[in-house]
Structure formats: structure tokens, C-alpha cells
Structure 1
Amino acid sequence: MSLTPDDARRQLSLLTAALEELPLFAGPRALLEGLPALFARQGEGHVSVWVPEDSRLRVLAAWGFDPQALPYLAEEGVVGRAYRQGEPVYVADVAQDPGYIALEGHAVTSELALPLRVSGEVVAVLNLERPCPFAEAELEGYVRFARAASHQLTRLYERLQFELTSRLGEEVGQAEDFQDAARRALDHLLPALGGTTGAILVQQGGLLRAVALAGEGLRQGEGSLEEGIPYGRWLSWQVLSSGRPFFASAYDRSACRLEAFKAAGTRAMALYPIPLGPHARTRALLALGDSRPRRWLRVEREVLAAASRTLGLSFATFQTQERLATLLALAREAVEAPPEAVYQRLVEAAVRLVPGAQTGSLLVREDGGFRYRAVVGFDLTAFAPVTLTEGQQRAWYGPDLEAWRRGEPRILALGADSLAAWSRGSGMPPGFDEFTRVREIASTLALPVPYQGEVLAVLNLDNFHDPAAFDEDSLEAARLFVPPVAALLHELDSRRRLEMAALTDALTGLPNRRAFDRFFPEELARARRYGYPLALLVMDLRGFKRINDELGHATGDQALRRVAQVLSAQRRGGDRYFRWGGDEFAAILPHTPRGGAAGAAERLAGHVEAIVLEGRPLGVNVGVAAFPEDGTDEDTLLSTADHRMYRAKTHGVAVWAQ
């Protein structure tokens, strides 16, 4: 069929007007929705635009018929073939086409379906129907128009991607913190990409928690997202571990869907990893849902990729700022706060800020060994009595002495049995595996904190689920802690030394009465809180006055120093011995019931009675009181121990325990 001159002029006018109007559309969706009206103004009266949705095509806009009368088409028809084949499909006589779907009340003879592309991908189909066939020249003209429309769609999507990422960068750049940036990002992305629900999830130890949510339906069912998704459950963890995005056009039918999104009526889902650095493991996730089934176009995936990169850069900046701000705050606290409080906040900050950490512990160098001073995720009472030698701590860290001295973090991920074997090979004390839960640990990070060539402390961080929990980003975050924490610990150590000088008896080197008055309430409060026994010994020397009077004060001082050496030699981890003044001494024995304290007192008495100076022996009378058997407050326990010490003296025995 050939065109008449009038038809040719009309066709040229139509195509010219259509091509002139294409650049006037503000965005790709506006262009697609506006095509039917554009053709209607030029005389075509039966025009529609179809977009892919799940396994069918949905009418996006139509002119000449009610979209509600035919909202969907299967892919077997004329429009579906054009979509699947990516080529124009022309049917001169629809009556001869078995896939044609007739619409009641509309006389149609021929149909032309034109795929519209963005960067080569078919994103929609422009469909024209007529009561008469199309001429060859018309078909060629419409094919050319479809190419021009596809070119314009590609330009609009490219502009949309650029504007979206630019505005997104501006939005998150104005945020006050990480959570504010996440909220702003969702508020911007949801309308731009046509989503109805959204969340930004961040890994925190063994949980994947929502830091921002969008969409009213999702907010109503947000509990599971804010409480956290346990390690390994649902598709979100698979996306994190693989670093590859996931797109579902029928998420509501997925067996691995999140219940919160299901409750919000989400039917299509995009899960996109947010990279926080070039070498960092993915630990954040953008979830974008739609209440309609939809096929995620390649161009939409590219937009999500660009948005995720923008978010990742912003989030990484906020992470670094938070780490530095936290360390500065700890440094300020170290000036006045009690060391125990600073230690505890330090471990809490490390668990929160080092990616992959679930639990943590801090060992501080004291008296030549390392004592546990703060834990997160463990019971401190189990750790409190334990002191590790430097050799044990070095063996747990590993053989690289230079790395130990530099404060280089090391990662171990040997599996539960291998970690337990590593622990045993480090010569750890009995029970160490049990209270540190070594058999449950999947991976661990150890960070020595050196200052002027000496390691002042060791920070241990653990993960109980993921052997690959700690990565280069974890090491980078851990390294940030070394210089400020070393200075902080040095400051605390200097404070401790000054305080200990004020709390130390100059003659014997034992803590003095002032130290006892400080430590006894603290130990008793811990015993009450954690429910363990505590014993108190009050001691008075026998024979000391004779030695002092007959042999002189220098020999008397020597006797007191010998007694202090005996007490120090018998001390277990956690025990404290004090010189009250004159020839009086005291001891605090945590985790010791009255029977155990009586046995310890007998052994002490035997060692003191072995001290002889120029033929004059020493002895001791010891009174024992125990929490909770003998009392639950300081005054009662002190009074009881003192009374029993006098009873021991009166009855001529070394120890009186009840």
C-alpha cells in the first residue's frame, strides 16, 4: 500500500510534531505516559504504552480505550512478541493473528508494536492500532520515531541518574550523622525510583539492623528490622556475603522474604550492597520495595549502583568521624573519670566501631602481667581473678614479636576446635576456654596497644558466627585505636601510679589503710552485684613489740618487710593485702567462702611463724569474716573480723574463723 500525497503530508506533519515534542518531556516516565496523547493530537486514535511487570505487560498509558478494560497483556500477543524479540512487530490483519486480543467495541484491522529501548534494553512497547493497514512509508517513519524516542529516553535516564546522585550527595552531605544520612537517602530514592518501601540495614556484630526505614506499611511491621536479622537468615545476609545485588519481580512469593516487607505489601524487591570502601567487605545494604510486581530494568540497576556508591562514600566518612569523635571523648574522660569506667567505655566503643565485632575484652598490664579490666558480652566475674603472664598473652597473639611491639592487629579464624587448640597451645590457665567461650568463637581480632616499646594493654574482639567477620576494614578501624588509646592508657597508668603512691605503705610496699578504705567497699559492691563470696582477714602480729623494743626500730622495720613479703608471695590473682599501720595487716579475698579463707589464714600464719630475727620468732593472730555468711555490709564484716582476731589472741590460737 502506498501513500497519497495528502497522507504523506499528514504523516510528515505527525512525525515532525512528535519529534519536536520529545525533548519537552521532563523525565522518562513523563515521556512514556505522554506518547499516547502526543499521537492522538496528530490523528492517531488508538495508542498505548506497555511496560514489563513480572511475567506480563502492564498498560502505563492509553488513548482511545479505557486502560481498566485491558490492564494487562500476556507476552504471547503482538505487544509481547515485540518486547521479547526487541524488534517491531506489524500485523496487517489482526484477524489472522492467533495472539491478538480483541477489545470489545473497537474495530481494529492492523496493529504495530514498537519496542522502546534505553541503552539497548527494551523498557516499554509503543502500540498503535488502526481500522486500516499501515503503508510501508508509515511503518518506516514510525520505526524511525521509535528510535528517536529510545534515544531521548536514554538521555533522560542518564540525566536522571546524574541528577539523582548529585542531589543524593547534597542531601547526605547535609546530614548530621549516619542515621540522618540514611533517612535522607531513603526519602530521596523512594520517589525517584518509584518505590513504596525502603530500608538501610547495617551489620552490627551478628545482626543486620535497620538504621532507617521508609514507607508507612513497613513502619507498622518494623520490629524485626530494628531488632535485627540474625546472622545467615534471609536473602539480605547472602547479599552481604556475596557483595552481589539481588532483584526480585515477585518477592511476595519468595520463601526467603523478610516478614516486615511482606506485612507492608511489598511485591518487588531490590537488595543492593552499599560498599564502604574499595577493599572493605560489604556491611550495609539498601533495600527498596514496590507494592507492584516489576521487572528491574538495567538502567534502574545502574541508578541503584550509582546511589549505593554515593551512600557508601558518605557512610564511610561518617564512620571515620564517629570513630575519631569517640576516641577524643574517651581521651577527655580519662582526665577525670575512674579508670574502670574508661576501660569499659573503650571496649564498648571498639565493639561498636570495629566491623565484625560482637564481644570484646581489655587486658591491662599490671604488676608484670595482664589483668582483665573490662568486657562486653561476657561475665566480668569469671575474668576478674585471671591474670595472664606476658608469655601467655604473647603466645595467644602469635609469634611475630615485631608486630606485637608495633601494635599491629592480628586476625585468627581457624574454626572452633582449632581456636581451642590454639588457646591450649598458648598455655592459658585452667578454665580459660570455658569463660572466654573459645569453642564458640568463629574469628577473633587481637590488638596490642604499645607505648614507648612496651605493650600496655591488649584489646580482644570476637565474632561467634562468621569466620570471615574481620577483614581489611576491621584492621583499618582497629589501627585507629592504637595511638590515642596508647596515650589514654599511659595517662591512666600515670594516674594509677600517682594514686597508688598515695595508697601505698612506704615501708612494706603494701597498700595502706587508705587503700583498704577505698577498695573494700568496691569489692563488696561487686560481690553483692554478681553474687560471689568475699572474705576479710584482719591480722595482728605476735612478738613484734619485743623485736622492736629489744633489737631496735631498724630490725622491727625488717620484720614488717619480711611479713609483707610472705603475704605477697601467698597472693592469688584478685587478692589484696594491706598494712593498716603498726603491726596490723588485712586481706580481701574475692571469690573465697569462709572455709577457704580459714585455710588461707592458717597457711599465712604458718609462713609468718617461720620468720625468726636473731632468735626471736614472730607470730600472728587472724580474724576471719565472710560475705554473705557473717554480714552483708562493711561495718558488720569489719567488726566481726576484728572481734575474732581478738578471740584468737585471747585463746592463744593463730586463726579464729567463727
Structure 2
Amino acid sequence: MNTLTVSRTLWSKMALPLLAAGGVLLLVQLYPVQLVGLLVALLIAGTLLIYPIPAGPISAFVLAMLIVLGWSTPIASKTLLVAGMLVLANFIGLVYRRPRTAPTGTTQSLLLGLWSELEDSPTVESVLNYTRDFLLSNGVKSVELHQNIIQTLPNTYAIYALNQRVTQLEVRGVPRHIQLDELLKVVEARLSQIARNQENAFLNYITLELQDAHNLKEGAQQVCYALLSHRNYTSCGVYVYDKNTFRPYAHTLLDAQNVEFNHNLLWKAYLEQRALFTHDEETARSHHLPDFDRAAVAIIPLPSLSRSRAFLVVGRKEYERWDSEEQEFLSNLGRQLGMLIQKQTLLERLKKSEAILSALRSLSLDELNSLLMTAAADLLPGAQYGALLIREDQHYRMVASQGLDLGPLAHVRIPEQDVLVWYGGSQEECLNGIPRIRRLDSSDADVQRIQTDVLQDLVPLAKLQADLCVPIVHEGQMLAFLSLNNMLDKHAFDQDALEVAGLLGSQLAVIVQEAKLRQELSEAAATDPLTGLPNRRALENLIPLGLASLRRSGQPASFLLMDLNGFKAINDHFGHKFGDDILRQVGRSLKSVQRSTDLIFRLGGDEFLAYLPSTSTLEAQQAAERFQTAIQALSLRGFPLGASIGMSLFPDESEGLIELLRIADERMYEQKQAYYALRGKRDA
């Protein structure tokens, strides 16, 4: 501050005391020193012309006292003249009380001129350059722009756009007619307007990029990279919830990591369903997000129809508060991104479900059971565990699982009434195929009984945080029961999951019913209707697969071809109906003495075949004796029953099914001839 400025400040502070002192000198009428009073009065008048007292209650009171006392005191006319000069001088000073401030009209014209010029400046750089030229052309001695300096410098003014610092303006030698604060407000208003237009253009650009992207992941990746170039962010990523894990769906880091269910800021944002921000070093260290180490982060939920399961996370190194303008910008971006992700997610889910359901339609019932569980968990990302129960008579059997050991559960049979308890709704709702989300109450006696007595504590029902129950119902009959659950997140399933589960359940019901019909038709075509044993068609379909497996493992196998001896006499004597009953008894007798790995086929008439995998020649001979004994036990009085048995060995004699059957048939025929020779007659 120069000497002139200091003197002006001191004089302005002394104006009121000097005025009071001059008035006192005049009122006391010190005639010997009238010259002194006159000089003091002139000094006061000159001071007030340059630095008047502020127009306010104090100045008004002083003027009023001088006028009243001046008229009421009998003083010389010269003294009255001096007092009048004081009053006139003060009024003149009041009129020109702000000699350093430009007249209102001049200031407004300058600001209007500046704004009209700035409106033609489309960029931040052009606005700042014109502002500098404008100040220099209006008498400012020096103007400098400091772009990359954070700390405040002397004689500088920070310029902001939408609450973000753009630059610092260092100004020296400002004339009296320039109102710098008002001028900078105009500049900041234009800069904020440009910034807002740029953000709207950026949001439109993001929308177009997402729409033009070949897939959702590519579009999200482009958004992340565009944010880095648009803002001073150091990293950016989109994370999507999937089975208690947030996976980096798109990220500016090539080696971005999963975020597991834990005490971190991303999971807090998910559980609370709101945006979260860190702004200082302490909170930056405690957010526990490895891809944003020591960075201030903003976590923005991407809206969906129900709960947000995707989040935009951005990080920056500057530990500054995320102001309201930037939060609004990120929220707007999140809404745009969320709407498009939601739309494309629904389309992708629809395509995926169509592909899955189309694939499931071509599977057998056994194949369907194993893959249906995987398909359901894939379409419902909140599923951590799951089980598929198929109805068999009045019980349900677990045939597939997700995250559970199926081995100990395979033998468990769950009564239909207990499945309804597990479902938690009415029987009418269940038979209408309505899915439900529930949390099983550990204090419920029925739940405790099912967990302990029925499931034998193999499934911790009471620990399930969320359970999505999907009845698979076809024409009022429940074919299966699908249970998807989560043991960590009670919000794992929402309204979206219910809608998907409802659609999935109705379509799976049709697929399961079709698979059952195909299996029944296949079994009917491959099953002998009289004995219930597999027929020749089943033999031709199953045995080649079994032989291929044995060939890979180097295991042997045996075939026993059996033709009944004495059956023709029984059939002729007692009739065909009785003969059919004998054939049924033979089938049951053979099955009663077979091993669990053996297969018995009826090839037609009174001819049967036993397939004995993983057996030696000796074991095959022992099996033939067991079968012979079982058949002979069915003999009637006067009508003995037995069998001629021919054996072939895999792979010693052949590796082909047709050849093995031919060898067994030849040996069976040799035994049949020996039987006839022994009996001395033909009795087929």
C-alpha cells in the first residue's frame, strides 16, 4: 500500500473528529483566535470535499447540532458564514461520498459490455484471455493468469466455474472506476455457463457412445476413459454385484480387482443404497478399495427398477470436498449410465434366458436336472447357494445343488408338507407358481424340525439371510421346487428377481414336463412292456456307451445270453396268459440276483441277456449259475424250467457289441442242442 493511500485512509478517519473540533471552536466564539477557527474550518471543509464522513446517523446528528447551535448562539456574521461553509462543504462531501467508486451508470455499462463480449467466447481459455485484455485496456497496470498454482498468492483472485477453481488472476494497479469484484462475478457466471454446457454435451456424448457401442461392457469402458479426460480423475470403474462379490465390469485399470463382501465403502453404498464420498486423507485410507489406493473416491449407485446393483466409482488424488455441482454432475451421469445399463441388461438377460431355455429343451430329464440349477443361478446374480428338488410321489428329492455338497443330500426325501413350510406361503400360492422371498425364522419349530429331522443339519436353513423360493408348477401340479439363497446379504433378491423367477419358473415347468414326457416315451420305447426290463433298443443305445467307458479304463465285461428251457411246454399247456406271467417272474428273479452294476434285458420271446461290467471269466460263470438257479426255482410240477446260457467276453473275444452277441448266441445254441440231446426230444 503506497503513501498516498495511507494518508487518505488517515484523513478519512480524522474527518469526523476535525469537524467536531471545528464546530466547538466556532461555538465558543474565541474572538481572539477567530483566524484560527477560520483556518480550522477551511481545513475541515477541504477534508470533507475529498473524504466526507459517511452518510449515516452520526453525520446527520453532527450536522443537525451545528445548525441548531449556530443559529441559537449570538455570534458574529463572519462566524455564521464559516459555519454555513462547513454545512455546505459537508453536503458537497455527502454528494461525492465515494470518489474512488465509478458512477453507477459507468460500472453497469462496463459490465454489460464485458458480458456481451464474453457471450461470444465459446471456451474457458478465450474467456480468460478476453478478461485479461479487457482489464488492461481499462487501465489495469498488470494482469497474470496462474493455472496450476493451488495456494493463494498476494493480489490474486481465485476464479471458479461451477464451484471448481479454474485459475487465479493476479491483478495490480486497479483504477478507481473498475469494480473488480463485480467484474469477476460476470466472468465466473460465463465460465459456469460454459462448464454447464460442456457437461451437458459430455452427458449427450456418453449417451450416444453407449447406444453405438457393440455391447454394454464396451460402452461402459468408453465412459470410464471419457471421464478421465473430462475431469481430473485418476481412475474410474463400473462395478456390478454378482454372488456376494462386486466385479469390475469396466475399468481404466487393466488389472482391476474384485471387491468381496467386507467392511468397505462400496458395500456400505450397496447396503445403504446411496452415494458416498471421501474427501480427506484419513477417509481415503479407510475405504478399503484396492483399485483406488489413497485416493478420494466418489461412489455413485446406478439406478434400476428396484435396488442398485451397479456402481460408478471415480477417484482423484486431491483431498477436496466433492462440491454440490460435481456431485450433481456424477449423479446425472449415473442416471444416464444406469438407464442404459438397465435397458441393455434386460435385453441381454432376455437373450440369455432364451438361449438357456432353448438349450434346456433338448436335454434329457437327468441332464436337465444338473444344468437347470446352473441356469437359474446365472440369471439371478444374488444366488449364492441353491437346491433343486424333484417331486417323486408325495416326496421331493434333491437332484442338483449350487454351493452345497449334493452327495449326503441325494438320499434325503422331503415330505410335500415340509416343502410347503419351506415355501412359507399358502398352498394356493404355491400351486399357482408364485415365487416368494423370505427369511426362515430359526425359532420356528417347523423350521427347526425340517433342518434337524429331514435335512439332518446338512442345510443351515436358519442361517439363510435371503431365500428365493420358486415352485415349478404345470397345470396345477408342482413338478419341482427351486430354492435360491444367500447367507450374507439379506437384500440379495428384490422385485427384479421375483419377476425373473416368475418368468423362469413358468417356462421351466413346461420344459420339465416336456422332458418327463420324453423320458416316459423313451422308457416306453426302450422297455419291454411285459416284464418292465430294458428291451433290445435300450441294449443298442446303452451298451456301446458302457463298453467305451470300460475300454478307456481297461476293465473287462461279460455277456450272458439266456434262452429258457421248458417254457414252450408250460405255455402250450397252461395258455399264453400263464406263460406271460412266467416270463414276468423270470424277469423279477433275474433282477433279484443281479449285482447293482449289472443290467438285464429281454430281447424277445423267452430270450434274456445279462450285461456284467467289470467281471472276470470266473465271476461271469458264477453269475450264470445264480441266474440258472433262480430260473429253476420257478419250475412247476411236471414242467421243469431252466435256461441254456451262452457267454462272451469283452475285450478278449471282441470289442464290438454285435460280434459279442453273435459269440454268446452260438454258445447258447450249443448248450441248447446239448439240452435237447439229453432230453431226447425238442421242448422249446
Per the normalisation by structure 2, the TM-score is 0.65
Q: 1:37: Cα distance to partner?
A: 6.3
Q: Do the aligned partners of 2:397 and 2:410 also contact (CA within 8 Å) in 1?
A: yes
1:275 aligned residue: 303
Q: 1:475: Cα distance to partner?
A: 0.9
Secondary structure of residue in 2 paired with 1:257: coil
**Distance verdict in 2 for CA 1:577–1:357, change over 3 Å:** farther
Larger Rg: 2
Q: Do the aligned partners of 1:385 and 1:573 also contact (CA within 8 Å) in 2?
A: no
Q: 1:408: Cα distance to partner?
A: 1.2
**Distance verdict in 2 for CA 1:564–1:22, change over 3 Å:** farther
**Distance verdict in 2 for CA 1:180–1:116, change over 3 Å:** closer
Pick aligned residue for 1:308 from 313, 327, 334 = 334
Question: What CA distance in whole angstroms lies between the structure 2 residues aligned with 1:475 and 1:284?
Answer: 18
**Distance verdict in 2 for CA 1:550–1:151, change over 3 Å:** same
**Distance verdict in 2 for CA 1:390–1:415, change over 3 Å:** closer
1:256 aligned residue: 287
Pick aligned residue for 2:115 from 13, 19, 41 = 19
Question: What CA distance in whole angstroms lies between the structure 1 residues aligned with 2:323 and 2:350?
Answer: 41
**Distance verdict in 2 for CA 1:585–1:312, change over 3 Å:** farther
2:264 aligned residue: 234
1:462 aligned residue: 485
1:492 aligned residue: 515
Deviations along 1:350-372, whole A, 9 cap, x unmatched? 21221311344434456776555
Q: 1:424: Cα distance to partner?
A: 1.6
Q: Do the aligned partners of 1:171 and 1:181 also contact (CA within 8 Å) in 2?
A: yes
Question: What CA distance in whole angstroms lies between the structure 1 residues aligned with 2:445 and 2:644?
Answer: 48
Question: What CA distance in whole angstroms lies between the structure 1 residues aligned with 2:599 and 2:423?
Answer: 29
Secondary structure of residue in 2 paired with 1:488: helix
Letter in 2 for 1:72: I
Q: 1:211: Cα distance to partner?
A: 1.2
Question: What CA distance in whole angstroms lies between the structure 1 residues aligned with 2:586 and 2:325?
Answer: 83
Pick aligned residue for 2:150 from 66, 72, 97 = 72
**Distance verdict in 2 for CA 1:331–1:4, change over 3 Å:** closer
Secondary structure of residue in 2 paired with 1:254: helix
Question: What CA distance in whole angstroms lies between the structure 2 residues aligned with 1:117 and 1:249?
Answer: 20
Deviations along 1:21-59, whole A, 9 cap, x unmatched? 332444678757975566456554565xxxxxxxxxxxx
2:652 aligned residue: none
Deviations along 1:264-300, whole A, 9 cap, x unmatched? xx633211111221x2x22111111224444322111
**Distance verdict in 2 for CA 1:230–1:446, change over 3 Å:** same
Letter in 1 for 2:261: Y
Q: 1:499: Cα distance to partner?
A: 1.5
Pick aligned residue for 2:501 from 461, 478, 481 = 478
1:594 aligned residue: none
Equivalent positions of 1:224-623 (< 5 A) are 225=257, 228-250=258-280, 253-262=284-293, 267-277=295-305, 279=306, 281-334=307-360, 336-365=362-391, 370-379=396-405, 381=407, 388=414, 390-414=416-440, 421=447, 424=450, 428=454, 430=456, 433-434=457-458, 438=461, 441-515=464-538, 518-519=541-542, 545=567, 548=571, 550-561=573-584, 579=602
Bigger helix fraction: 2
Q: 1:472: Cα distance to partner?
A: 1.5
Secondary structure of residue in 2 paired with 1:509: coil
Letter in 2 for 1:210: P
Q: 1:481: Cα distance to partner?
A: 1.1
Secondary structure of residue in 1 paired with 2:286: coil
Higher mean alpha-carbon deviation, 547-556 vs 266-275, is at: 547-556
**Distance verdict in 2 for CA 1:617–1:367, change over 3 Å:** farther
1:97 aligned residue: none
Q: 1:507: Cα distance to partner?
A: 1.0
2:247 aligned residue: 209
1:194 aligned residue: 232
Question: What CA distance in whole angstroms lies between the structure 2 residues aligned with 1:574 and 1:394?
Answer: 36
Q: 1:329: Cα distance to partner?
A: 2.0
Secondary structure of residue in 1 paired with 2:119: helix
Deviations along 1:528-586, whole A, 9 cap, x unmatched? 99x9x9x9998979998475465333123224445667899999999987656566778
Q: 1:199: Cα distance to partner?
A: 0.8
Gaps of 5+ in 2: 1-7, 9-97, 614-623, 646-654, 672-684
2:88 aligned residue: none
Letter in 2 for 1:358: Q
**Distance verdict in 2 for CA 1:199–1:143, change over 3 Å:** same
Q: 1:520: Cα distance to partner?
A: 6.3
Question: What CA distance in whole angstroms lies between the structure 2 residues aligned with 1:46 and 1:527?
Answer: 95
Percent same amino acid at aligned positions?
Answer: 28
Gaps of 5+ in 1: 48-61, 74-78, 80-100, 103-110, 591-600, 623-632, 650-658
**Distance verdict in 2 for CA 1:462–1:13, change over 3 Å:** same
Relative contact order: is structure 1 or structure 2 higher (C-alpha 8 Å, sep ≥ 6)? 1
Question: What CA distance in whole angstroms lies between the structure 2 residues aligned with 1:198 and 1:230?
Answer: 18
Q: Do the aligned partners of 2:564 and 2:607 also contact (CA within 8 Å) in 1?
A: no
Q: 1:402: Cα distance to partner?
A: 1.6
Q: 1:399: Cα distance to partner?
A: 4.6
Secondary structure of residue in 1 paired with 2:520: helix
Q: 1:486: Cα distance to partner?
A: 2.8
**Distance verdict in 2 for CA 1:453–1:420, change over 3 Å:** closer
RMSD (CA atoms)? 5.6
Equivalent positions of 1:620-635 (< 5 A) are none
Letter in 1 for 2:436: R
Deviations along 1:218-245, whole A, 9 cap, x unmatched? 22xx2x52xx221125211111111111
Secondary structure of residue in 2 paired with 1:484: helix
Question: What CA distance in whole angstroms lies between the structure 2 residues aligned with 1:270 and 1:405?
Answer: 47
Question: What CA distance in whole angstroms lies between the structure 1 residues aligned with 2:418 and 2:389?
Answer: 12
Question: What CA distance in whole angstroms lies between the structure 2 residues aligned with 1:301 and 1:373?
Answer: 50
Question: What CA distance in whole angstroms lies between the structure 2 residues aligned with 1:213 and 1:240?
Answer: 19
Bigger strand fraction: 1
Q: 1:508: Cα distance to partner?
A: 2.6
1:654 aligned residue: none
Q: 1:344: Cα distance to partner?
A: 4.4
Q: Do the aligned partners of 2:422 and 2:447 also contact (CA within 8 Å) in 1?
A: no
Letter in 2 for 1:405: L
Q: Do the aligned partners of 1:415 and 1:441 also contact (CA within 8 Å) in 2?
A: no
Question: What CA distance in whole angstroms lies between the structure 2 residues aligned with 1:367 and 1:258?
Answer: 52
Secondary structure of residue in 1 paired with 2:428: helix
Question: What CA distance in whole angstroms lies between the structure 2 residues aligned with 1:383 and 1:313?
Answer: 43
Secondary structure of residue in 2 paired with 1:210: strand
Q: 1:195: Cα distance to partner?
A: 2.3
Question: What CA distance in whole angstroms lies between the structure 2 residues aligned with 1:485 and 1:177?
Answer: 28
Secondary structure of residue in 2 paired with 1:447: strand
Letter in 2 for 1:245: A
Question: What CA distance in whole angstroms lies between the structure 2 residues aligned with 1:571 and 1:422?
Answer: 41
User: How many equivalent residue pairs?
Assistant: 567
Question: What CA distance in whole angstroms lies between the structure 2 residues aligned with 1:366 and 1:460?
Answer: 17
Q: 1:261: Cα distance to partner?
A: 2.7
Question: What CA distance in whole angstroms lies between the structure 2 residues aligned with 1:8 and 1:348?
Answer: 77
Q: Do the aligned partners of 2:435 and 2:502 also contact (CA within 8 Å) in 1?
A: yes
**Distance verdict in 2 for CA 1:284–1:237, change over 3 Å:** same
**Distance verdict in 2 for CA 1:385–1:163, change over 3 Å:** same
Q: 1:587: Cα distance to partner?
A: 9.2
**Distance verdict in 2 for CA 1:186–1:452, change over 3 Å:** same
**Distance verdict in 2 for CA 1:293–1:579, change over 3 Å:** farther
Secondary structure of residue in 2 paired with 1:72: coil
Secondary structure of residue in 2 paired with 1:21: helix
